[in-house]
Amino acid sequence: MCVQRVCEFCQMDENFSCADCQENNNKRKGFSAQDFVEHLLTKGSIAPCDETADQFNNNKLPPYYDEEMYIRGQKFFHKHIFGMFLGNLLGLMAGLSIQSSLAVLIMTKMSGSDYTAYKRYVSTILHMMIWYDSDFKPGSRLWKSLENVKQKHNSASKKSMCVLKYRINQKDMALAQFGFMGLIVTRNQLLGIHDMNDDELECFLHVWRVIGYVLGMEEQYNLCRKNIDETKAICHEILTRVITPTVEEKQTNHLDMVNYLINGLRTMNPFLETKTFMFYMRIVLNNDLTCVGNNDLEYRLMSNDQKFRLRAILLTIKSLQYSLVRILLNSLQWFSVWIIKTYPYLAFYKFGKANSYVNIMRTY
């Protein structure tokens, strides 16, 4: 099941020297991902991303916005929508381990049960689909969606300042941005996104660079840079320095919030199961399939049903290299999004019909 990958710099097995090659390549260009991430974690943690910041109040497209690139980035998302959703789910699960962001999330009481998590994350999905489907112009559905998200961020930041004495900052926004694109950049094949070329990736990163800008991110903290190699290096550094260590701490509040997330979204995808996807997240973060076997204690403790689900994920990821399989699974993903928007019948049984509709698109 293991997918062998090749270092784009040395053309050797990635496990052999990819990290060293990437670091040396960036040093030759005068860029250091380590310095970027250090700056993000220190200065970014005290730079606000709410109405108190000038950039947050800048309601314009960035000067580098390229409409053609943005549209091509949207098309790349839809070409791999099944793998993209998997990457976003795992990125969100991992991001819930960041204690500063998690404290704000808990404070808002918007994700502390299966139902509130369902409402919150379906809302996020519907907003995201607008970003990938609409024209990016002032006054468009996409623009209004981002304005709505900014208002929610600002409201949460103001409440957090009153309750926790903590503002949503540039570091928080960058780590949230990572949840939407970081694993696609660093672990694409383990998400079933095969044969990704630099042109497609550049356009995809342009989408998130622009969205980050409009949501109030300062360019010095935006993970998506014009140079693909720099963005890759930054994402690898965040993955190894920030995300993976915090996930491995296995904080109780992190596990609780992931459980609410999975239980809420099971009404969109019944295949989801907390322990299975936590285990697969571990595989993806560590880029390591060797833990799938009885030599691993955590694997041995899984039930037969959980092991079956894990094997099904691995088979699916491998099969996505075939166009017919990708098209079929993409169609299923589009169908699940359509169902959750129009007639979320599985949610009816869990939450009641009146409580199951999420209407963020009504005003757009």
Average pLDDT over residues 290-316: 95
Q: What is the pLDDT of residue 110?
A: 85
Alpha carbons 303 and 97: distance in angstroms, whole number: 25
Average pLDDT over residues 186-209: 97
The closest of 87, 76, 63, 30 to 230, measured between CA atoms, is 30
Query: Per-residue confidence at 5, pLDDT binned at 50, 70, 90?
Result: very low
Does pLDDT of 229 surpass 80?
yes
Does pLDDT of 11 surpass 80?
no
Query: Per-residue confidence at 315, pLDDT binned at 50, 70, 90?
Result: very high
Alpha carbons 246 and 288: distance in angstroms, whole number: 18
| Mean pLDDT (the chain, rounded) | 91
Query: Per-residue confidence at 10, pLDDT binned at 50, 70, 90?
Result: very low
Q: What is the 3-state secondary structure (H, E, C) of 59-98?
A: CCCCCCCCHHHHHHHHHHHHHCHHHHHHHHHHHHHHHCCC
Alpha carbons 208 and 235: distance in angstroms, whole number: 13
Does pLDDT of 165 surpass 80?
yes
Does pLDDT of 15 surpass 50?
no
Q: What is the pLDDT of residues 99-121, one digit of tens each?
A: 999 999 999 888 899 999 999 99
From 24-28, 135-139, 192-196, 257-261, the region with the lowest mean pLDDT:
24-28
Average pLDDT over residues 334-359: 96
Does pLDDT of 38 surpass 80?
yes
Does pLDDT of 299 surpass 60?
yes
Alpha carbons 319 and 192: distance in angstroms, whole number: 8
Q: pTM for the whole thing?
A: 0.90
Q: Looking at per-residue confidence, does 146 or 28 come out higher?
A: 146
Alpha carbons 242 and 234: distance in angstroms, whole number: 11
Does pLDDT of 28 surpass 50?
no
Q: What is the pLDDT of residue 16?
A: 38
Q: For the chain, what percent of residues have pLDDT higher than 90?
A: 85
Sole residue written with tokens 């991303």? 49
CA angle 242, 246, 248 (to 5 degrees): 125
Kindly give, in sequence order, each residue whose CB lies less than 8 Å from that of residue 205, ignoring residues fewer than 6 positions away: 73, 181, 185, 224, 225, 228, 231
Average pLDDT over residues 157-172: 95
Does pLDDT of 1 surpass 90?
no
Q: What is the pLDDT of residue 364?
A: 43
Angle between the N-to-C axes of helices 114-133 and 67-79, in degrees from 0 to 180, rounded to the nearest 10: 130
Average pLDDT over residues 109-135: 94
Does pLDDT of 350 surpass 60?
yes
Does pLDDT of 14 surpass 80?
no
Alpha carbons 75 and 69: distance in angstroms, whole number: 10
Q: What is the pLDDT of residues 232-275, one digit of tens each?
A: 999 999 999 999 999 999 999 999 999 999 999 999 999 999 99
Q: Which amino acid is at 26?
A: N
Q: What is the pLDDT of residues 78-93, one digit of tens each?
A: 999 999 999 999 999 9
Q: What is the pLDDT of residue 362?
A: 56
Q: Looking at per-residue confidence, does 24 or 181 come out higher?
A: 181
Q: What is the pLDDT of residue 279?
A: 98
Alpha carbons 27 and 25: distance in angstroms, whole number: 5
Does pLDDT of 143 surpass 80?
yes
